Amino acid sequence: MPDALRQLPPVDVLASQIDAPRAIAVAAARAVLAERRRELLAGETGEGDLAARARAWAARAGAPRLRRVINATGVIVHTNLGRAPLAEAARAAVARAAEGYSNLELDVETGARGSRHDHVEELLCALTGAEAAIAVNNCAGATLLAAAALAGPGREVVVSRGQLVEIGGGFRVPDVIAQAGARLVEVGTTNRTRRADYVRALGDATGAILRVHPSNFRQLGFIQEVEIEELCELGVPVIDDVGSGVLADELDVLREEPPVRRSVRGGAALVCFSGDKLLGGPQAGLMVGRADAVAAARAHPLARALRLDKLGLAALEATLQLYRDPERARREIPVLAMLTVDDATLRERAGRLAAEIRHAEVVAATARVGGGALPLLELPGPVVAVSLPGVSADDLAARLRAADPPVIARIEDDRVLLDPRTLADDELTLVARAVGS
């Protein structure tokens, strides 16, 4: 063992055999030598090509960590895969904004300083009927900012116990209220909250009522909640976190999600919702509502900490522009297109994919919306089931993930499923190639 350790080459010698920038070559040499020492100390005596291992390490280090993957899971709003894919118009807008400087906070006509919120406020107001609007970096940030602006230190925020939810990443509503500096007042029970429960809790210290859409779960059975219109009649500012951001409220498939326009019409002071998820744009937290409430949010110090960057604003503006024409939005916004694709198109797409894959068959299965939206909704449709003799489902799924670009599938009943609902037409050949590689 000591001899084997002594025979390891110096870092500089190994680094000289790697065709990479000096810093990466040295880092690769050190990492591989450290790994080889651990192997020798563990009793592994097999010889390895250290130079080849170091070159592979350097290649991985130089490759981008964030990269495109192909979503073959059938989960439309897949949090792990970046939520909603952007429309072509939104991708083009991001490229234009990234090309050079922009008028992010400049009024080109007057030469004076402008506001980044102006790029999307008019669109948001036109699409929702709100008096004013701003955009921040995500919906959780929008809810935090709303609570801080309308309640804040020394004030109370009233919430139904049935809406004290936790969403992904351990993000809990009570923690949001605490970080806003306000005091949480719980009303009702887990499954039933009445108007009278809110009335009894209101007082001079009440800053706002917060209504939270339980995006990632549903209560069934003996339940009751107070609708947004009733809450807005109580004379206290209402913050309505509707979560998924439904602007295409004419779609029957989205009928279980709260539409933004209804909350605005109902009189909510601030309505918070996501820019991705079911809206189909970039990650963003959108806040629309009364002019005085939006002004209070804009003036709060958290507004700067949570603001949306120029690339997000570019993608958001382009996505909102598509909503001006509902038919175009359904065609060009990928999330809406996937939700409304007809069965014949899915079967044709599945058939083309199956024809390119040996031993593949088209079977009936279901897909889900995902992303904390419509947890009970299953989307019917054909799915391609790929099963290769002598290859386990786990091994095949791992091989697909190792492809370039990686293909992310799902496993059911010990077989790999490739769902055409979340596959673009130009991705079918790439998936087939990955299966055969």
Residue ranges covered by each domain of the chain? 2-61, 70-80+334-436, 88-325
How far apart CA 120 and CA 142 sit, in angstroms, is: 15
Q: Facing residues of 417 across strands?
A: 385, 410
The pLDDT of residue 372: 54
Closest-CA residue to 91 (of 327, 333, 308, 329): 333
**Other Cβ atoms within 10 Å of 136 Cβ, number:** 28
Q: What SS3 state is found at 35? A: helix
The pLDDT of residue 103: 95
Helix (DSSP H) and strand (DSSP E) numbers for the chain: 19, 15
**Other Cβ atoms within 10 Å of 201 Cβ, number:** 18
**Which amino acid would we find at residue 74?**
G
State pTM to two decimals: 0.89
Distances, alpha carbon 170 to alpha carbons 187, 238, 329, in Å = 22, 24, 33
The pLDDT of residue 124: 97
The stretches in the chain having pLDDT less than 50 are none
Unique residue bearing structure tokens 């786990």:
394
pLDDT in tens, 4-37: 888 899 999 999 999 999 999 999 999 999 999 9
The pLDDT of residue 162: 86
Distances, alpha carbon 399 to alpha carbons 58, 78, 79, 144, 396, in Å = 22, 20, 22, 42, 5
Distances, alpha carbon 123 to alpha carbons 131, 217, 289, in Å = 11, 31, 13
- Tell me whether the omega of the peptide bond preceding residue 406 falls within 30 degrees of 0, making it cis: no
CATH of 88-325, one of 2.60.40.10, 3.40.640.10, 3.30.1330.30, 3.90.1640.20: 3.40.640.10
Report domain 70-80+334-436's class: alpha beta
